[in-house]
Amino acid sequence: MATLNRRITLAARPVGFPKDSDFNLVESPVPTPKDGEFVVRVIYMSVDPYMRGRMNDVKSYAAPVQLGEVMGGGAVGKVTASNHPTFREGDVVEGFFGWQEYAVSNGQGVRKIDPKLAPISTALGILGMPGLTAYFGLLDICDPKPGETVVVSGAAGAVGSLVGQIAKIKGCSAVGIAGADDKVAYLTEELGFDAAFNYKTESNYFKKLKELCPKGIDVYFDNVGGEITDAVLRLINTRARISVCGQISQYNLEQPEMGPRLVLVSLVVKQAKAEGFLVFQFADRYPEGLKQMAEWIKQGKLKYREDIEHGIENAPRAFMAMLKGRNTGKQLVKLSEE
Amino acid sequence: MATLNRRITLAARPVGFPKDSDFNLVESPVPTPKDGEFVVRVIYMSVDPYMRGRMNDVKSYAAPVQLGEVMGGGAVGKVTASNHPTFREGDVVEGFFGWQEYAVSNGQGVRKIDPKLAPISTALGILGMPGLTAYFGLLDICDPKPGETVVVSGAAGAVGSLVGQIAKIKGCSAVGIAGADDKVAYLTEELGFDAAFNYKTESNYFKKLKELCPKGIDVYFDNVGGEITDAVLRLINTRARISVCGQISQYNLEQPEMGPRLVLVSLVVKQAKAEGFLVFQFADRYPEGLKQMAEWIKQGKLKYREDIEHGIENAPRAFMAMLKGRNTGKQLVKLSEE
């Protein structure tokens, strides 16, 4: 059994896009559980866009990571030692264990995972936070109706790829925007999106979207922001609903980017709504969301992909690649064997 | 009795801010009513920000005014001749009669006004479209709670001045942004706003708002947009609600203004909502709104002011002055005596 716990800490607050030297790989002893605690050997850890915000020293919905502190994040692992009444050695659990090989926990915010129901990695993806984000962010914020056109940016990511599929399940037309030709093919050929395009090779987003959305855009699920969103705004229909899940194009800028003042003018002209949300708002309805998503997976209506990096030392690299949109589907880092 | 009907038509589509030559004063005979029609002598006509949008040749929620066509707009007047079963000579009525001294109508969208209940001009203001806009735009879109901080831009206008007062009735703190010192005094000394400031003499909106809203901003009723809204966005609280009533700072630009991409980033960071609306969405609940507003006026809880220009030939001037924010309260043009 290992005696060393390798961990990634925040070495410096990034200026603009994060770089290797913003992270430190440190070693400490594997923790031992006190009364009411247990220790988890992490198997999969998640890297997600929201983590970029927590690297800044800015009060947001979550406290920032402190310099020298282990990077926060969701993970799935196996309990290796326990002084906790509910979580026992051998249990597979999901929780906010951070970027480290071993974590100690008192059980708060931790859930047990049944490895027989689905691959345990899905607890970080389609049957975890990204899945619930897609489910509630699309259905609750936007209430898509059959026949409506739903556009999603960041469409090949962990959340976006589910949003388009859920839109299809609800009888909508789903149009995806992604950053690579193979992603576009994945969306239309494997996931059943009606259309998609590669924004990196398309020079006129507006014209392309107009072509792909001949009836205009009723629902927009935005992961990205910036010029892609500008083009969408020019095509929204009356009473359109915009779910603002993320603005990843804006997270790594040293100064706010300038753009045309389109958002509020579009909302008033179209009597439209834009709403930001965090999945935690829907915490009391997670069971509903998870049950429905699991059912859709079983029925073959929802598909997913995982992009897996290996080794804690590569977590920063996986995180930065995800911020650059290099992943297709959920980006994970595998730290140990199941 | 007059035989000539003086009317203002659209002479040219404005490029940027409208100018005198965009309007024509034309004369035609006073109309005579056909079967099912009646003729109205207009007493008060309204000039409103939304009319600027209709001068452009752009499909919006309402069709644009055509070149050579009479400018559209709400008005109050007296029926002078009628072949209509419901509207009789002598009735005081409110409807979309346009910028002209006499209008012919088939009764569609026209309501009778009881001159004993309130001054008939209020049918274009506090007991008309601006009043209903304030009422539903604040209460339905934002659902303000006692103790919350409500900020309104364009606060001394027909809508804004009511929004702050309704916020106070609901137990909120009301903070207004206006464009003149006498308007600021009007808001705080006469209308009971907790605070207000003059954006034309204030160099740092953010600092000023931070001082006036020590608990942050829960609700923002936006008539204006632009840099004022940028400052507000930096101060919104978690789960803030933004009612997008207008963006008057953006209506007269030849090209969209550039600004920092703050709106959607703010919404996602604060899980906030921004929603554009048109008062017509609430048409089936107008009676509720009018009844409540009338009650509040009677109880002395709602005050209002009117800014009255005289003569149809001065309607364009009143309209342009209103777009520049020169009015306090509802801007009207009086065309004939009651």
**What is the identity of the amino acid at B284?**
D
Q: How far apart are CA A333 and CA A73, in angstroms?
A: 11
The pLDDT value recorded for residue B271 is 96
The pLDDT value recorded for residue A57 is 87
> Which distant-in-sequence residues (6+ apart) come within 8 Å of A58 by Cβ?
A64
Q: Which of A61, A256, A274 shows the shortest C-beta gap to B269?
A: A61
Nearest Cα residue in chain B from A255: B260
Report the sign of the C-alpha dihedral through residues B249, B252, B257, B263, in that order. Answer: positive
Indicate yes or no: CB of A247 within 8 angstroms of CB of B262: no
How many angstroms separate the first and last alpha carbons of chain A? 14
Instruction: Spell out which chain A residues touch chain B, with contact meaning CB-CB distance below 8 angstroms.
Output: 53, 60-61, 222, 225-226, 229, 238, 244-247, 250, 256-278, 281
Q: How far apart are CA B88 and CA B110, in angstroms?
A: 13
CA of A143 vs chain B CAs: smallest distance (Å) = 15
Indicate yes or no: CB of A250 within 8 angstroms of CB of B259: no
Contacts of A276 in chain B (CB under 8 A): 264, 266-273
Nearest Cα residue in chain B from A250: B265
- The CA-CA-CA angle for residues A11, A17, A19, to 5°, reads 40
CA of B254 vs chain A CAs: smallest distance (Å) = 12
Contacts of B159 in chain A (CB under 8 A): none
Average pLDDT for A307-333:
94
3-state secondary structure of B61: coil
Backbone angles phi, psi at B137, to 5 degrees: -65, -35
Model confidence at A63, pLDDT cuts 50, 70, 90, reads confident
- Going along chain B from its start, the domains and CATH numbers come out as 4-125+304-334 (3.90.180.10), 129-280 (3.40.50.720)
Q: How far is CA A324 from each of CA A52, A224, A327, B20, B268, rounded to the nearest angstrom?
A: 12, 11, 8, 53, 20
Q: How far apart are CA A290 and CA A292, in angstroms?
A: 5
pLDDT in tens, B175-228: 999 999 999 999 999 999 999 999 999 999 999 999 999 999 999 999 999 999
Indicate yes or no: CB of A264 within 8 angstroms of CB of B275: no
* Long-range Cβ contact pairs of B64-70 (< 8 A, separation 24 or more): B65/B10, B66/B10, B67/B10, B67/B11, B67/B12, B67/B13, B68/B9, B68/B10, B68/B11, B68/B24, B69/B9, B69/B10, B70/B7, B70/B8, B70/B9, B70/B98, B70/B99, B70/B100
Model confidence at B74, pLDDT cuts 50, 70, 90, reads very high
For chain B, list the strands marked E by DSSP: 4-10, 23-29, 38-46, 75-82, 92-95, 102-105, 111-112, 149-153, 173-178, 195-198, 217-222, 236-244, 258-260, 273-276, 306-310, 330-334
Closest CA to A20 of A7, A30, A10: A10
Model confidence at A240, pLDDT cuts 50, 70, 90, reads very high
> In terms of DSSP bridges, do strands B258-260 and A258-260 run parallel, antiparallel, or are they unpaired?
antiparallel
Average pLDDT for A35-56:
95
Q: Which of B260, B267, B273 shows the shortest C-beta gap to A256?
A: B260
Q: Which of A250, A258, A274 shows the shortest C-beta gap to B258?
A: A258
Please report where in the chains the tokens 């264990």 appear, as a residue: A97
pLDDT in tens, B281-330: 999 999 999 999 999 999 999 999 999 999 999 999 999 999 998 988 89
The answer to whether the CB of B59 falls within 8 A of the CB of A234 is no
* ipTM over 0.85 threshold: yes
Average pLDDT for B218-242:
97
Q: How far is CA A196 from each of CA A34, A214, A230, A321, rounded to the nearest angstrom?
A: 52, 14, 17, 22
Q: Which of A60, A226, A271 shows the shortest C-beta gap to B277?
A: A271
Model confidence at B117, pLDDT cuts 50, 70, 90, reads confident
Average pLDDT for A81-90:
97
Q: Which of B244, B260, B263 shows the shortest C-beta gap to A258?
A: B260
The pLDDT value recorded for residue A107 is 96
Token digits for A143? Answer: 């209430």
Contacts of B263 in chain A (CB under 8 A): 263-264, 274
The answer to whether the CB of B164 falls within 8 A of the CB of B219 is no
H-run or E-run covering A273: strand A273-276
Q: How far is CA A106 from each of CA A76, A83, A100, A226, B161, rounded to the nearest angstrom?
A: 15, 9, 17, 41, 53
Q: How far apart are CA B94 and CA B173, in angstroms?
A: 34
Closest CA to B156 of B9, B281, B322, B37: B322
The answer to whether the CB of B305 falls within 8 A of the CB of B182 is no
The answer to whether the CB of B193 falls within 8 A of the CB of B172 is no
* The pLDDT of residue A6 is above 70: yes
CA of B251 vs chain A CAs: smallest distance (Å) = 9
Nearest Cα residue in chain B from A264: B244
Contacts of A238 in chain B (CB under 8 A): 61
Contacts of A273 in chain B (CB under 8 A): 273-276
Q: How far apart are CA B30 and CA B257, in angstroms?
A: 44
Contacts of A60 in chain B (CB under 8 A): 269
Largest CA distance in chain A: 64
Query: Mean pLDDT score of chain A, rounded to an integer?
Result: 95
The pLDDT value recorded for residue A117 is 87
Contacts of A267 in chain B (CB under 8 A): 244, 274-276
**DSSP bridge pairs for A23:** A10
The pLDDT value recorded for residue B172 is 98
* The pLDDT of residue A61 is above 70: no
Q: What is the dihedral of CA A79, A82, A87, A92, to 10 degrees?
A: 10
Q: Which of B261, B265, B273 shows the shortest C-beta gap to A275?
A: B273
Indicate yes or no: CB of B268 within 8 angstroms of CB of A259: no
Q: How far apart are CA A124 and CA A198, in angstroms?
A: 27
Average pLDDT for B225-238:
97
Q: How far apart are CA A72 and CA A8, in angstroms?
A: 9
Contacts of A262 in chain B (CB under 8 A): 256
Indicate yes or no: CB of B256 within 8 angstroms of CB of A265: yes
pLDDT in tens, B10-63: 999 999 999 999 999 999 999 999 999 999 999 999 999 889 989 998 766 677
Indicate yes or no: CB of A264 within 8 angstroms of CB of B273: no
- State the count of interchain CB pairs (< 8 A) between A and B: 119
Length of chain B as a residue count:
338
Indicate yes or no: CB of B264 within 8 angstroms of CB of A263: yes
Closest CA to A97 of A119, A128, A57: A128
The pLDDT value recorded for residue B333 is 98
The pLDDT value recorded for residue A3 is 81
The pLDDT value recorded for residue B61 is 64
Model confidence at A60, pLDDT cuts 50, 70, 90, reads low
Contacts of A260 in chain B (CB under 8 A): 256-259
Indicate yes or no: CB of B258 within 8 angstroms of CB of A259: yes
Q: How far apart are CA A16 and CA B182, in angstroms?
A: 45
Query: Mean pLDDT score of chain B, rounded to an integer?
Result: 95
Average pLDDT for A119-147:
97
Closest CA to A134 of A289, A288, A323: A289
Q: Which of B244, B250, B261 shows the shortest C-beta gap to A257?
A: B261
Indicate yes or no: CB of A269 within 8 angstroms of CB of B226: no
Closest CA to B60 of B201, B247, B199: B247
Closest CA to A239 of B273, B277, B58, B242: B277
